[in-house]
Amino acid sequence: MPSAEPTNALWLQARDTKPGPRPALSLDDIAAACVRLADAEGMRSLSMRRVAEELGTGAASLYRYVSGKDDLVALMFDRVAGEYEFTPPTGDLRADVLDVAEQARAMYRRHRWLIETNPRSLGPHGLRYLDHMVAVLVPTGLRPAEIMTGIAMLSGWVTVFAGQEATGQSLPTQGGGAGHIAAMLGQGHYPHLAALFAEPDAPGEPAVDNDAVFRAGIDALLFGIAGTR
């Protein structure tokens, strides 16, 4: 989740009324150009010069709207957050959280560069996401700080899982999987792992259902966040 930023954020600056000619571009124009570039060529393609070329203007003119690449990342992240389709919470905590989590997971699939971004501020769409998640978690009776922590934990799981999927692996195989671990046990002193793998139902290498693993992670987090309430 993006960190807090002072009130001179991009979207507040854009609302300032200043004398002079009307800006030729909007923040959304710039964000759309950034997303097109990153979708097609990855984050390495993102620069003030390339974005300016995409918009048919000069790099220097972009500084009228943004201060640099960090602002571009914030804009494109917020534009993609606008792809969420929120419906009023149903009161079924698991269903409501999974609805948003699955949308986020699909978003990471559409925009692989998201895993590389770490925007410093929340824009209007990011705040809409946060507002919806608060509405989902408020009925749990959690305190405000606990709600925000819960949202961060759920968002973090989606990010980690989506990043692993982007490499073509399922999350349980991170680090080499059970077969790799079993093979390595003879190379060092790992008594607790050795005992675990000596059990009759020791971890094997079954086919992994990524969808089931994703939902299991959400369930585990929800139990920790609100299971005792």
Tell whether 26 and 77 lie within a shared domain: yes
**Same domain flag for 144 and 176:** no
What DSSP string describes 63-104?
TTT-SSHHHHHHHHHHHHHTT-------S-HHHHHHHHHHHH
- From the list 219, 107, 95, the residue with the least C-alpha distance to 157 is 219
Q: What is the pLDDT of residue 4?
A: 46
Question: Does 28 lie in the same domain as 141?
Answer: yes
Segments forming the whole domain that contains residue 193: 171-207
Residue 68 domain flag: yes
In a domain, 83, yes or no: yes
Alpha-carbon distance of 75 to 32, in angstroms, equals 9
- pLDDT mean for each 10 residues of the chain (229 residues): 54 61 82 96 94 93 91 95 96 96 94 89 93 96 94 94 76 60 81 82 65 92 79
The pTM of this model reads 0.81
191 with 218, same domain: the answer is: no
Q: Could you tell me if residue 222 is inside a domain?
A: yes
Q: Do residues 40 and 132 share a domain?
A: yes
